[in-house]
Amino acid sequence: MKVGIVFHRDPTAAPSGIDLVRLRAMTRGLLARGIDAEIVAPVKEPLLIDGAIPVAPLESLGTTGRYTVVKTCYHQSIKLVKDYAGPVVSRIVRVVDKRLPLRDEALRHELLACQALIHERAQGIVFNNTLNLQRWRQFYGGPQEAEIIPTGCPSSIPRNTPNPFQSNKPAALFLGSLAAPRMVHVLNYLAQQSRDDWEVHVIGANKTALYGAQNELPLHESIVRHGELPEPEVWQYIEHASVGLALATGPHPFDNDLSKMFHYLRGGLPVLSEDTVYTNYLLQETSYGEIAPFGNLEALRQGLQRLLRNPPPGPKEAVMEHMARRHSWENRVDTLLSLLRRVVTTMEL
């Protein structure tokens, strides 16, 4: 079986965002299991990334018999498989409807068109969680094979790294894209309320101009912005931070599957979350953080203060080992491989 993993942009950049981290981890995992897999992306010629992961140009999809099955990574990736005639498995992060999520208004028409194409073209669909699977069935029905494959985390990470923070203040770390205006409002509030008890740090891109804001919303002057960093450096910040911030994009759990929580907990970092975050089940598994009511800024401030003054009891190593054992990328790859094989077998019948 040869698998083509279709990605809608150049995958050769340093893996800072979760999209590239997941892409490389899943492809590497398939290769480690003896599957002939490669990324198919808008590159000019074949190449290798990380010295081991092959990347082929999009034109490869038009080569008859080159791929047994292809998998698309995001909504927009489905538009790239038009020259491919075989079975398709598509991944959908969140199912968009005619009204929700509100932050997707600018892209709603395109995302709905992509979903219609996926419904028509794909034989299998991957979802991050059951809520989005249920939304898909509600809006589209459909006979496709489906599988829940959440974000994963590495089975091994850098340890005993130098402290990258310049200040001695406890670091409240926000990891990932600022993908909704309210995230900026909440971070600004926490920064204003610190009273020198903590310092807010952000690693990631400000994408508020894409999701609900007319222009990029500014962060409070006291917030330390580190930009987008390569993954090994991110683990360094997680190891030396005091609390990881998991802020909801809005009130609907289907739109709040936060990949950052896997990384915080894999690195042994306590998490402050909000109650509309779908991935709070990780805190129920680990008891390693606090959950505040959505929209209650004072409760968030108090929760952050409590976590800084009284970190969760018990060794963080147990939390880290739990995440590596139960939520590793290897586990996610096994689930994906099972789905790919089912789709291929069904198409051959």
Indicate where the chain has its CATH 3.40.50.2000 domain(s). 2-152+328-348, 171-326
Q: How many C-beta neighbours within 10 Å does residue 314 have?
A: 11
Return d(Cα 122, Cα 144) in angstroms, integer.
7
Q: What is the pLDDT of residue 349?
A: 56
The ranges of the chain with pLDDT < 50 are none
Alpha-carbon distances of 92 from 72, 124, 169, 230, 306, rounded to whole Å: 9, 11, 39, 25, 36
Q: Which of 263, 245, 67 is nearest to 158 (CA)?
A: 263
Return the bridge partners of 224, or none.
201
pTM across the whole model: 0.96
Q: Rounded CA gap, 92 and 257, in Å?
A: 12
Q: Which pLDDT does position 314 carry in this prediction?
A: 82
- Residue 170: cis peptide before it, omega within 30 degrees of 0: no
Q: How many CB atoms lie within 10 A of CB 65?
A: 8
CA separation, residue 115 to residues 16, 167, 172 (Å)? 27, 46, 37
- The predicted pLDDT at position 214 comes to 87
pLDDT tens readout for residues 108-126: 999 999 999 999 999 999 9
* pLDDT for residue 171: 98
C-alpha torsion 172→173→174→175, nearest 10:
-170
CA 196 to chain centre: 31
CATH number of 171-326: 3.40.50.2000
Length of the chain: 349
CA atoms of 125 and 78, how far apart (whole Å): 11
- Superfamily for the 2-152+328-348 domain: Glycogen Phosphorylase B; (3.40.50.2000)
β-pair type (199-203, 243-246): unpaired
Question: How are beta strands 145-148 and 171-175 bridged, if at all?
Answer: unpaired
